[in-house]
Structure 1
Amino acid sequence: MRVAKFCERNIQFTEADKAIDILRQHYKDDVAVSVVDCFRRCLKCRVQPFCRIQLTTIEANDAETLVKQILQTV
């Protein structure tokens, strides 16, 4: 199972929390969700939701698109 790591600060400013909820409710057998302190991507952090899976950063304009991209990656 892959781990999708979300930035705590990104969650505060974007729809990343919605993506986390969707993953935890519907895809908990496919993707583990982890919230970390900071990815040091301050310019992107406040603009759009993103997460990291291993060394790959996945970005999207909204939570639903982010979830789709995460599922494609895993």
Structure 2
Amino acid sequence: MIFIKQGLSSTKGQTEENTAVAVGYAKEELISHSQELFACPPEVLIGALLGKTETAFTIAETKQFIQNFLQRKVQE
């Protein structure tokens, strides 16, 4: 599991606000739990992540990748 800190940085005495911590998971971990997390078989998630160079993904972005993959037109 990888933690990614996102938010606004402090500038000229202002405090840091709107800080959110996004949790990234390894591709293999997401694939092994694809049915529980995304209600799809591992093969669908493998196809959705095909060609991605990142090593960790958040749940939200992975759901978006799956949705984009399933809506993609089939090439002949």
Regarding TM over 0.5, the answer is no
Larger relative contact order (Cα-Cα within 8 Å, sequence gap ≥ 6): 1
Higher radius of gyration, 1 or 2: 2
Q: So what's the TM-score if we normalise by structure 2?
A: 0.30
Task: Kindly indicate which of the two structures has a greater share of residues assigned to strand.
Answer: 1
